Structure 1
Amino acid sequence: MKNDLTLIFFDLETTGLNPEIDEIIEIGAIKVQNDEIKETFHSLVRPNKNIPKFITDLTGISEKDVEKAPRTEDLKDKIENFIGDYPLIAHNVIFDKTFLEKLLGKELKNEVFDTLELSRLFFPEFYSHSLQNLVKKLEIKSKGPHRALTDTLMLYSVFQKIKKEKGLFPQEILKKFKQIFVNEKNFDSIFGDEWEKTENTETSLKWETKEENSKKLTLPFKENLKESNFKDGVYYVESDINEEILKEITSIAKNKELLLLIYSEELGKRLTQIFEKKGFLVSTLNNYERFICPEKLQFFLDNPSLVPPELRTYLAILVSYIFKTKDFFVDRAPIHILKNPILKILSSCEEDPSSCNYKSFCPLKRKIEEIKFSEVVIAEQSILFDENYFKQALTNRGTIVFESFRLPKIFYSHKMDLSFLDFKTLLTYSDFDQEKIDRIEDTYNSIARFLYGQDITKEIKSLKDLLSDSHNDLMQKFFKKPAYQKGFRDGKIVISAIEKDAQKIFKENVKFFNPIIFIAKYDRIGDKEVLSEFTGLKGEKVKDKFPFNNKNIFSVVPLFTHSPNYDEFPEEFVKFFEKIHNKVKTAIVLPQQILMKEIYYSLKNKGFGVKAFGTDSADEKREIDLFLYDLSTGESYKEIYLIKFPLIQNNNFNPEMDFYSALLVKNILYEIAEKSNGKTIVFYFDSKLKNKEYRSALEDMFISFPLYLEREESLLKIIERVRNQN
C-alpha cells in the first residue's frame, strides 16, 4: 500500500470568506508520493469581481497581478488532471473544498482530510491551530510570504510533524482512534500502513493524572486558623481594584478563609500572585463546569459505535488531550477543548467521588480535597448561579465579588444548553430508550418555528416529565431550571435552561457565604441602587475614597446616525470614522461578534490598521482595537467608540435591563478611560439615546457630561476645537 500512497496538498487565496459571492484568485498544490514532492501546480486566477484592499494587504495579490491571469473555465481541466482521485489535504479543508467545487462546477468525490483537525488530534494542548501558529510552534522554517503555494509547502511540513508526533502515541490509543473513526475516516489513505507504527512501546491504555504540588499535602488544619474579626453581613464597596482595597482583603484572609469571585482572567492571575506571595494557599476554579469523568470516557472508548458520528472526532481529540496532559479537570485547557461538545456530556457525576471505581484519578475528588485545604479560592462569578459540586467545600467562606457590576449580565446570559445530539449521547450512556429519543427529536422539530431567545417552557413540559427522573446528573440539573428558551449552537437548535429569579439565588447564597462583599467602581445610576436592587440583599455601603477625575473625558452622542440595528449602520459608521479619526490609539467596543466582524472588515478594506480581539493574534499591535463589552484590554486610548449598549436580556422593553446595561457601560468605560493620559474623546452610538426620557433617566451612566449633537457639521467643528485645546 505504501508504494501507491499519493497525496494532494493544496491551498487557495480568495476575495473573501463567502463562497456564494467570493472567488478564488490563486491556487497552489503539490503532489506527494511516498513522502516525496513529485509535482507542483500554481496559478493566479482572474476573478469577476474586484479584490478588496485588505486581501491585497494580506496576500500581496493586486488587481494588476490577475488582470492577465486565466479565468476559472481555462483552469478546470488542468486542476482535475492534477488532483485526479487522490486524497486531498488542506487546512480547514471544508472552506477550500467548497471554493474548489464552485470553480470546477461539480462535487468532488476525492477523500478529504483536514490538517486543522489532525493537528488538534495530535497537538491538542496547543492554544491555536492556525497554520501560522503551527508553523511557529513546530519550528518550521517559513517558505515565504502568505501565498497559496508557499502555504501549501508549509502545510506539507505541518503534516510531516503530525506524522512524527503520531509515532509517540501508544499503539493502543492509535487503535482506539481507528475504532472511533471506523466508517468515518480511513487514515490508511494518508498514512498507509504506518498508522499503527509507533516508537511508544506501551501495550495497554492506562489513565494517569498530573503530579500534584506537594505543599498541598502539608496544609494546616482549618480548625487551627484564627476566628475572623470581620463582621458578618453584606457590603457594597464603591472602588476600583487598587492597592488599598487589595491590602484590606489580604488582611481579612488572615482570619477568614476566602472565596474570591472574578470575571477577567487577568485579574484572577493578579490575585493568585498577590495571595501566594503573602504565603496563602490558593486554589483556582477555572471552568468549574467542565471536567472529564474517567468512567464515562472509558465507557465511550469501549463503545465508540454508540457515539453519534458528528461527535466522534471530538471524542478522539479529548482522549488525545488527556493522554498528553493528564488534565482531567481541564483547568487550563485551550478554548477548543473547553468548547468540545462531548466535554459537556463527560462533565457530570452520578457517583460519590469517594467510592467511585476511578477515584484514584477522579478530577472532582482531587479538586474538592484541594479546595478544602485552601485558604483562598478564586473562581468565576457564575459559580453563584449554579448548582455545582463544590458548594459544600466552599461553605462559610468570606466572599469577595470583584467587578460586581457584571453580575446582571452574567446572570441573564448564563444558560445550560442541550442539543438533540447531547440528549441522544446522554441517553446512550444511561437510560437508553429509542422511544424517548424519538420523542426528544419530535420536541426539537416542534420548536423550530420559534424565534431565537423565545420562551419555550410550555412546549417542553412533556419532555421534562419524560426525562426528569433520569439517573444522569446533568439532565437532573437541566430539568430543575424554572424556564427554557430556544437557542442555537454551531447552527443547530438547542434548548437553553435558564434561571429567572436572581434575588432568590442571592438569598440562598447568604446562607453559604458570609460575609459577602460586592466591589465595583460604580454600583448605582443616579439615585437608583442598581446592584443592591438586583441582588435583593440589604447591606452596608462603603463610599469610594478616590472619585474619578473626569476632566479629560469628552463625551459625545451623535444623534444624526442610524441605530446600530440598521443594516446601513456599519457602512455609515466607517464613513463617520474616516472623518473623525485622528490616527491615535483607538478602541471600538461592541455588543456582538456579527457587528464587530462587519465593522472590522469594512475598516480593513479602507486600509486601517485594525485588531479584533478573539480574531487576530493576541500579541499583534494595531492602531485600532475592536473588542466586545465582555473584554477589557488594559490599554490606554485617545478615542473610544461605544457602539450599541450591551443587551442584558432579549426583552428590550424592561426598564431594569436598561439600568443593568447602563451600569455595565459606565464601569467598562471607567476601566478604559482611567488608564488614558490627556484628553480622551468618547462617542456613544445607540438608538435609545434619541429618546429624551431615556437620556434623562440614565444620564448618570456617562462619566462626563455628554454633548448631544443633531448635525455632523457641528460635531466636526467641536472635535477640532477640543483637539486643538489638547
Structure 2
Amino acid sequence: MESKELLQSLKLSTFIAFDFETTGLDPNNDRIIEIAAIRFEHGEIVDRFVSLVNPGIDIPNLITEITGISNSMVYKSPTEAEIIDDFLSFLRDSPLVAHNIRFDEQFLSRLCQRHEKEENNFKKYDTLQLARSLLFEQPVFNLTALSDFYGLSSDNAHRAENDTENTGFIFLELIKELAGYPLDFISKVNALIQGESIPNLHLYVEMASALAMKGDLQKGLIKHGIIPNCKTNIFSHNGPNSVESLSAEDVFGNSGALSKVHRNFENRPNQEQYAKLVNKILSESGKIGVLEAGTGLGKSM
C-alpha cells in the first residue's frame, strides 16, 4: 500500500501539525509567545502559519534561554486578539497533531475561551504517546531524540516552526509503523481504549477499519519499517561450578554454603522456603510465580 493510499484509508490525507511556545506551563496564567501550524496533504507540506505573539506579560529568562525568544523580539508582534481569527481560520476542522498534545490543547482551549471563540471538536493525535507505544526499545521520547532517530534536523529545537515540522514527519513515520501490525493487535488496543477520550483514538479505530476491509487478519497494511532490537532480560553466565544438583537447603540451610562464608549467618526458615519455591518455578517449564515477602526475609539473596 502506497503512503498516500494509507493516509487516505486512515482519513489523514490532510492534517495539521502545530506547536506553541509559551511563557510557562500553566495555561491559566501563562501565555503563548509563538505559534506554528503546518498543513500536510498526502504526506507533504503544503502550507504553514507561523508567528511570534506578544503575550502582554514578561517572558521569563529561563524561557528565553530555552527558546531564544526575548521580550524585544515579541514587542511589535501581534497580540492574541489580533492573531486568533487568522490562526483558527488556518486550522479549520483539520485533524491536529502535536508532541504531547495535552499541553498544546490546553493552551488552545484557554486561548479560545479568553477571546470568546468557539473551539472546533478537533480529532487529536499525539506523537509522544504513539512513540512510547511503538518505539518501545528507545530510551528517550522527547522531540529532539525522536528527530535524531528519524534523521531530522534539531538545529532550532524549542522553536515552534522547526518542532512542528519535525512533529509532522515523525507522525507520518509512526503511522507506517502502526500500519505494520495485524488486525488482532489493533483490535486489542481498541478494546482497551474503548470509551476513553484520548489522543490517537481515531487512528486506532480507522486502522482497524482499514485492516478489516483488507481481509487479511494475519498481516498489517504494510511491512514494519523498523525491526526492534530489544535486549533480552535473561542473563546467562557459564561459570566453573555446576549448580544443577544444588538445593535451597544446600545454600540457606544450617550447614549450607552461606553458613561457611558468613560469620554472622543465621538460618531463616522462611528464606529457605522462599528459595525452594523460586527454584521450583524456574525449573518447571511454563510456570510463573507471584511472590510477596516482608522486609528482612532476604529476598535479594
Tell me the TM-score normalized by structure 2.
0.69
In the other structure, the counterpart of 1:493 is none
In the other structure, the counterpart of 1:231 is 263
Q: RMSD across aligned C-alpha pairs, in angstroms?
A: 3.7
Q: Following the alignment from structure 1 to structure 2, what is the Cα–Cα distance between the partners of residues 214 and 50?
A: 58
> Structure 1 residues 61, 211: CA separation in 2 closer, same or farther (over 3 Å shift)?
closer
Alignment of 1:168-317 (within 5 A): 168-184=180-196, 185-187=201-203, 196-199=220-223, 212=234, 215=237, 219-220=242-243, 221-222=245-246, 227=257, 228-233=260-265
Cα offset, 1:178, TM superposition: 3.1
In the other structure, the counterpart of 1:151 is 163
Mapped contact 2:96–2:124 kept (Cα < 8 A):
yes
Fraction of identical pairs, as percent: 28
In the other structure, the counterpart of 2:215 is none
2:112 aligned to which of 104, 108, 111:
104
Q: Following the alignment from structure 1 to structure 2, what is the Cα–Cα distance between the partners of residues 219 and 233?
A: 24
2:172 aligned to which of 155, 160, 167:
160
Residue 13 of structure 1 aligns to a residue whose secondary structure is: strand
> Structure 1 residues 189, 24: CA separation in 2 closer, same or farther (over 3 Å shift)?
farther
Q: Following the alignment from structure 1 to structure 2, what is the Cα–Cα distance between the partners of residues 75 and 192?
A: 39
In the other structure, the counterpart of 1:2 is 8
1:65 aligned to which of 73, 77, 99:
73
In the other structure, the counterpart of 1:56 is 64
Q: Following the alignment from structure 2 to structure 1, what is the Cα–Cα distance between the partners of residues 171 and 155?
A: 15
Q: Following the alignment from structure 1 to structure 2, what is the Cα–Cα distance between the partners of residues 67 and 183?
A: 45
Q: Following the alignment from structure 1 to structure 2, what is the Cα–Cα distance between the partners of residues 211 and 47?
A: 50
Cα offset, 1:24, TM superposition: 0.1
Task: Provide Cα deviations, 1:418-443, integer angstroms capped at 9, x if missing partner.
Answer: xxxxxxxxxxxxxxxxxxxxxxxxxx
Mapped contact 1:87–1:111 kept (Cα < 8 A):
yes
Cα offset, 1:112, TM superposition: 1.3
> Structure 1 residues 353, 72: CA separation in 2 closer, same or farther (over 3 Å shift)?
same
> Structure 1 residues 229, 170: CA separation in 2 closer, same or farther (over 3 Å shift)?
same
Mapped contact 1:171–1:197 kept (Cα < 8 A):
no
> Structure 1 residues 211, 68: CA separation in 2 closer, same or farther (over 3 Å shift)?
closer
Cα offset, 1:84, TM superposition: 0.9
Task: Provide Cα deviations, 1:201-231, integer angstroms capped at 9, x if missing partner.
Answer: xxxxxxxx95855657994232688841432
> Structure 1 residues 22, 176: CA separation in 2 closer, same or farther (over 3 Å shift)?
same
Q: Following the alignment from structure 1 to structure 2, what is the Cα–Cα distance between the partners of residues 30 and 231?
A: 70
> Structure 1 residues 233, 101: CA separation in 2 closer, same or farther (over 3 Å shift)?
same
In structure 1, runs of 5+ residues without a counterpart are 201-208, 235-258, 260-351, 366-387, 392-498, 500-504, 517-726
Q: Following the alignment from structure 2 to structure 1, what is the Cα–Cα distance between the partners of residues 234 and 175?
A: 32
The structure showing larger relative contact order (alpha-carbon pairs under 8 Å, at least 6 residues apart) is 2
Residue 75 of structure 1 aligns to a residue whose secondary structure is: helix
> Structure 1 residues 40, 159: CA separation in 2 closer, same or farther (over 3 Å shift)?
same
Alignment of 1:107-126 (within 5 A): 107-126=119-138
In the other structure, the counterpart of 2:99 is 91
Task: Provide Cα deviations, 1:293-343, integer angstroms capped at 9, x if missing partner.
Answer: xxxxxxxxxxxxxxxxxxxxxxxxxxxxxxxxxxxxxxxxxxxxxxxxxxx
1:32 aligned to which of 40, 51, 59:
40
Cα offset, 1:150, TM superposition: 0.5
Task: Provide Cα deviations, 1:137-161, integer angstroms capped at 9, x if missing partner.
Answer: 3333336342001000111121122
Q: Which letter does structure 2 place at the counterpart of 1:197?
A: L
Q: Following the alignment from structure 1 to structure 2, what is the Cα–Cα distance between the partners of residues 189 and 230?
A: 60
Mapped contact 2:186–2:208 kept (Cα < 8 A):
no
> Structure 1 residues 159, 213: CA separation in 2 closer, same or farther (over 3 Å shift)?
same
In the other structure, the counterpart of 1:389 is 291
Residue 153 of structure 2 aligns to a residue whose secondary structure is: coil
Tell me the TM-score normalized by structure 1.
0.31
In structure 2, runs of 5+ residues without a counterpart are 1-6, 212-219, 225-230, 272-279
Task: Provide Cα deviations, 1:470-511, integer angstroms capped at 9, x if missing partner.
Answer: xxxxxxxxxxxxxxxxxxxxxxxxxxxxx9xxxxx65xx4xx
Q: Which letter does structure 1 place at the counterpart of 2:8?
A: K
> Structure 1 residues 210, 51: CA separation in 2 closer, same or farther (over 3 Å shift)?
closer
Alignment of 1:556-575 (within 5 A): none
